[in-house]
Structure 1
Amino acid sequence: MRNQTPTSSRSTPFRILIINPNTSTQMTESLKPIVQGLNYNDIQFDYFTAPNKHVTLPDGRVIEPVHSINSGEDSIQSAHHCRPFVEPLIPKYDAFLVACYSAHPLVGMLRSTIKALENKARHSDSGTLHVFVEEEINPGKAKKYVTGIFEASVTSSLMLISSFHLLADWSHHKAQSQDTWGIVTTGAVWKEELTKAVGFMINGPEESEEKRRKLLNAEHTSPTPSPAPPSVPRFAGVETTGLTAVELHKTPPEEVRRRIIDATEKILKGSSHPVRAVCLGCAGMAGMEEAVRAGCIKAYGETEGENVHIVDGVVAGVGLLVNSCKSRPVLKNSTEIANGANPQNSNALFFNRPVSGRLPQNISDLHLGGEADFYKERRHHLEVLGFHALPEDKKAPIGAVEFEGVRGPHGTIPIRLFYPRAIISKAKDDGEDKQVVVLVYMHGGGYTVGSVDEFENGLRLLAEAADVISDHRCRVPPRSRTSFPDPIRRILRMIDWAQGPEGQSRGINPNLVFGGGDSAGGNMTAALALRRQDQRLKNMAGQILLYPEARIPFDTPAATENNTGGSLYLVCNGIFSFADHYLPKSPREGAYPPSHRYVSPGMQKVEDLQANLPPVALFTCGWDPLRDVAVEYGSKLQEAGVQVNWHHYEHLTHGFLQFAPWSKERMDATMDVAKVLKKMAYS
């Protein structure tokens, strides 16, 4: 992690509920220092202990609390007992960990309830739900996750011991490692119970078990004991201490330690293949790794004994849930990186990776924000990227181009419309204009520079591939009237024009007017969506945001990693110069701080973003100073309930739309933008 405490992109931290399904508060208290020691400072952990009172289920059954779970039957009873207390908490938490080392049914109960609530939220007519939740959940915001410490430890153990090796016979055949794993647990009853649970979890239920279940459902006969599952080849088995979970904390520590050492030594020496992972098979054993390690050393000697992995189900479960929350679709997997992970001492996704798609020298020499003289820099861009300057084999075809002017708040706004060949063909075949889609696009250039000529080729590609009219606004020269909020007012007029009679006369469907932009243009598109919503104007059908400057990236890892020119194109420090041009300096023009809602959409709180904002297609690049602020804004929108479709290109730089003709990777990314736009427009 970074030296400073990372700031989350969420207004509130992820919340995880750790559930102790028995009534032992001592057991719950023993879990807290284990979880706190994991240093997930950006996660809020709460704890639930089963209440010491009976419950009456809807079918009339009275369920007593379980003080210590010492059998499979106890786990079933505790699940029924806890369910009415835990299910009402589902809307308040992102994830749930059932801290009982067994095949605990509460895991499945909570998953089923979450699924039912999500279905109910999506479909108004979902029938009667037999759950204990009154508050609804929003399935569009984010997924919720549930696991148990048993499931988490099995998953982690398999990950730790599994690997493929090449055989030493030069046949190039592969073989799986023969390393095994086992479980050290408490009472003797758990040996058979956990062995069966491992077999069913890895192998699935036997055919005979499924037939037996079907027979029971058909004949309503009394259940018969289920057969033992088939053996699991890489599972070394279960050994027990002979103590219950409660007795672990009441028995003298030296006696507990001796029993754990003996059980560990027995499981290691009893396996025909090396045991490389040992699970602590009880939540009450959390923190007892030292005794297990001593048993490993006693069985294998100091060197090999130290190499055995000790898997704490609580630690494994918390880790799995934290990672699931942070990586849930669409954006959470990058939120942590965008707001705190230090690439030099973590597995950050965006560090030490190559830049894809080598560009010709005259293209790679282009920098944005790297020259003190903006005119010189833009003249260089125009000489290389201007449509008139492109080689003929690089120019994208288009059906027709229309040059138009729109009357704006400060004079005429020049625009350029690109009509794809398919739309022109359909109009001729049908004898009339079709109701078609339009993308009102704001090109990048730091609010200050750039021209439509530099972006025409990219917009032609999008228009043809997406079957939409691309409506491209030209930017006015630097040091003209470009200060905020005038550009936003111009774009506001552009959307009105496209949605109004002028657009309809060209066959544009007013309900299919999309807004889009790259870099600073992406910022303005996002700001425009907020402003139209705030003013209760008809909003855009969607937002196409290409590596948007959601806010100034003065505090992100991406800004540090990419604070150079070289082959990275956008120079980070140049962003601050562009922002300086954009914000008005004269009090007569208005005082607008950088945090203003329409200046920095990415600085807004989640609660200030409404779920009815237009859906977003977000495109980001790994080699881009704006990467993290874009991901951060997308995460906030997603948390607010806005539909966000995120595409990340880890090995590309800022500005792939302009450089598409010279790079297959950049062309592929541009075609992805077109595919997403087409799907949003016509699905």
Structure 2
Amino acid sequence: MAVLWLVLLVGLPTVFLGLFVWAVIQHFLTAEVPSAFEHPAKFRFMHCVVLYGMTLGTILEKLRICRMPKFVQFLHDVLPIKKDPNLLVTDMHFGVVPVRLFQPKAASSNLRRGIVFYHGGGAMFGSLDSYHGMCSFLARETDSVLLSVGYRKLPDHSFPSIPKDCLHATIHFLKALETFGVDSSRVVICGESVGGWAVAIVTQALISMSSLPQIRAQVLISPITQAINFNLPSHQQYRNIPFLTRDLMSTCICKYLVIDPSWREAMLKGVCIPPDVWKKYRKWLSSDNIPQRFKSQDLQPELVGPFSEAAYLETKHIWNTEVSPLLADDKTIAQLPEAFMVSFEYDVLRDDALLYKKRLEDQGVPVSWYHVEDGFHGCMILFDKKPFSFSCSLKALNAVVSYIKGI
């Protein structure tokens, strides 16, 4: 028994150290860190830690001990939550959907603004806890009642769990605005990353529900707005920049949409796009809609290989507007409320935001836009994670606060 304990005491630290060394090697072999980054060494260290956690989670999954996304989520949620003495925070459920309500404690003579928030995380990660700090900041700084939606996600739930849960929670909130002390004429829907994708889908769905209070504005932070064209300029230029590489993005999409991973390469090359369908939708999907200043000189063609009907049949639900809200018809888009778009320069999803921005503007929807020149995907969640925060994190969050306060 003593020998067994000795082996464990020596062996486990060696294994963990070896995994971290492997993560460091993987980072330097695959990741690109632009020289313009504010703290490149800190950024590299954080990515190595993320790779380490995902690698350890993958090993545990292969040993059938724990699913990788759940393990990574556990590591993130184990961090302590900072309680704000100015807010009353209540956990509850709207049906099967867990939600967290943030209410300012100070008395108000008027009904407050309402914010419905959908977190990010690529449909695999992210939670009410991991976005608690951001939601607290938004509720406090805008003096609003904020509802954070803990939608169901991978690995236990796939499409359409996210838009379905977000829509259900939002409808429940809209029906009870008076109970929560919210002004029905000042409700904002806000989301980051996959949460921004949910904002686009839910806002479109609510148009047909005339019995509910109308949404005053939509805030989309680094959203994914289509799952069709993976060769936009930002997809090519920033494909290897953490924390959302093009490979990780496409993997999350395939897992969530239950597309066999063997078709992932076909999606990346665009061979699953029928020429006649591309001709119809390229006016919305093509990089022609991206301003020239965002394009490099060495861009590759958007459709790399010959069309494959088999790939199309296996992936054709990507053309559904509940997957690619960018493809909603003009009539639907024209009825949408005003929007505030936040994009980050070093983000593989930068151009998804730009495409949706143009789509809205072409149909007369007022759009305000804030572009963070030194920002990267996921930076906002780090705004209060000192010493791992970046100035771009708070800049973007303050821009969102400033816009919402104007509602």
TM-score normalised by length of structure 2: 0.67
User: Structure 1 residue 676 and structure 2 residue 357: aligned?
Assistant: no
Amino acid in the other structure paired with 2:100: R
Partner of 1:649: 372
3-state SS of 2:129 partner: helix
Residue aligned with 1:469, SS: strand
**Matched letter for residue 191 of structure 2:** G
Does the CA-based 8 Å contact 2:86-2:106 persist in structure 1? Answer: no
Equivalent in 120, 134, 143 of residue 444 of structure 1: 120
Amino acid at match of 2:394: M
2:164 to 470, 489, 495: 489
- Kindly provide the CA deviation profile for residues 3-52 of structure 1, in whole angstroms up to 9, marking residues without a partner as x: xxxxxxxxxxxxxxxxxxxxxxxxxxxxxxxxxxxxxxxxxxxxxxxxxx
Residues 129-180 of structure 1: per-residue CA shift (max 9 Å, x gap): xxxxxxxxxxxxxxxxxxxxxxxxxxxxxxxxxxxxxxxxxxxxxxxxxxxx
Deviation digits for residues 557-606 of structure 1, max 9, x if unmatched? 111111114xx3112111112112222569xxxx971021121112446x
Deviation at 1:677, TM superposition (A): 1.1
- Mapped pair 1:417 → 2:105: no
CA-atom RMSD, angstroms? 3.0
User: 2:21 maps to what in 1?
Assistant: none
Per the alignment, in what secondary structure is the counterpart of residue 487 of structure 1? Answer: helix
When residues 389 and 405 of structure 1 are mapped into structure 2, their CA distance, relative to the original with a 3 A threshold, is same
Whether 1:624 and 2:347 are equivalent positions in the alignment is yes
Deviates more, 1:472-481 or 1:366-375: 366-375
CA distance in 2, matches of 1:366, 1:517: 26
CA distance 1:397–1:663, change in 2 (3 Å) = farther
Q: Does 1:569 align with 2:243?
A: yes
CA deviation map 1:87-123 (0-9, x unaligned)? xxxxxxxxxxxxxxxxxxxxxxxxxxxxxxxxxxxxx
Distance 2:235 2:218 in 1: 24
Aligned counterpart for 2:323 among listed residues 585, 590, 599: 599
Residue 133 of structure 2, aligned match among 452, 457, 473 = 457
Does 2:107 align with 1:426? yes
* One-letter amino acid of the counterpart of residue 392, structure 2: E
CA contact (8 A) 1:609 1:637 kept: no
Deviations 1:484-529 (A, max 9, x none): 2x332222222221111x3321212222222111111101110111
Structural mapping, 1:142-221, within 5 Å: none
Quick check: 1:389 aligned with 2:79? yes
Q: How many residues align?
A: 306
The question of 1:403 aligning with 2:91 is answered yes
Q: Any conservation in 2 of the 1:366–1:569 contact (CA below 8 Å)?
A: no
Could you tell me which runs of 5 or more consecutive residues in structure 1 were left unpaired when the two chains were aligned.
1-350
* Contact 1:443–1:520 (Cα < 8 Å) also in 2: yes
The verdict on how the C-alpha distance between 1:610 and 1:550 changes in structure 2, with shifts beyond 3 A counting, is closer
- Aligned partner letter, 1:643: P
Matches within 5 A, 1:34-49: none
1:634 lines up with 2:357 in the alignment: yes
Question: Contact 2:37 / 2:374 at 8 angstroms: preserved in 1?
Answer: yes
Q: 1:99-498 to 2 correspondence within 5 Å?
A: 354-356=36-38, 359=42, 363-365=46-48, 367=50, 373=58, 375-376=67-68, 379-380=71-72, 382-383=74-75, 385-386=76-77, 389-390=79-80, 398-407=86-95, 412-420=96-104, 424-427=105-108, 434-484=110-160, 486-498=161-173
Paired with 2:120 and 2:50, the residues of 1 have a C-alpha distance of: 13
How far apart, in 1, do the equivalents of 2:84 and 2:48 lie?
Answer: 23
1:20 corresponds to which residue? none
Q: Is the 8 A contact 2:122 2:194 kept in 1?
A: yes
**Contact 1:595/1:603, CA 8 A, preserved across alignment:** yes
Q: Is the 8 A contact 2:216 2:338 kept in 1?
A: yes
Q: Is the 8 A contact 2:117 2:147 kept in 1?
A: yes
2:336 equivalent in structure 1 = 613
Query: Counterpart of 2:382?
Result: 659
Structure 1 position 555 matched with structure 2 position 231: yes
Residue aligned with 2:381, SS = coil
Matched-pair identity in %: 20
TM-score, structure 1 normalization: 0.41
Q: Answer with 1 or 2: which has the greater Rg.
A: 1
Structure 1 residues 574 and 679 mapped into 2: Cα distance closer, same or farther (>3 Å)?
same
Q: 1:382 to 1:571 in 2, by over 3 A?
A: farther
Larger relative CO (CA 8 A, sep 6+): 1 or 2? 2
The answer (yes or no) to whether the contact 2:54–2:68 under 8 Å persists in 1 is no
SS of residue in 2 equivalent to 1:454: coil
Structure 2 Cα separation of the partners of residues 577 and 611 of structure 1: 32
Task: Report the 3-state secondary structure (helix = DSSP H, G, I; strand = E; otherwise coil) of the residue aligned with 1:620.
Answer: strand
**Cα displacement (A) at 1:555:** 1.6
Is the contact between residue 54 and residue 72 of structure 2 (CA under 8 Å) also seen in structure 1?
no
For the structure 1 residues 613 and 598, does the alpha-carbon distance in structure 2 shift closer, same or farther, using more than 3 Å as the test?
A: same
Change (3 A) 1:389 1:582: same
1:416 Cα deviation from its structure 2 partner: 0.4
Name the counterpart of 1:136.
none
1:533 and 2:207 correspond: yes
Q: Distance in 2 between matches of 1:619 and 1:470?
A: 19
CA displacement at 1:608 relative to structure 2 = 4.6
Q: Aligned partner of 2:38: which letter?
A: S
The residue that corresponds to 1:227 in the other structure is none
CA shift, 1:676, in A, is 0.8
- Do the aligned residues in 2 keep the contact of 1:370 with 1:571 (CA within 8 Å)? no
| SS of corresponding position for 1:652 | strand
Match of 1:658, SS?
A: helix
Partner of 1:499: 174
Offset of residue 616 of structure 1: 0.5
Give, in angstroms, the shift of residue 453 of structure 1: 1.0
Note the C-alpha offset of 1:481: 3.1
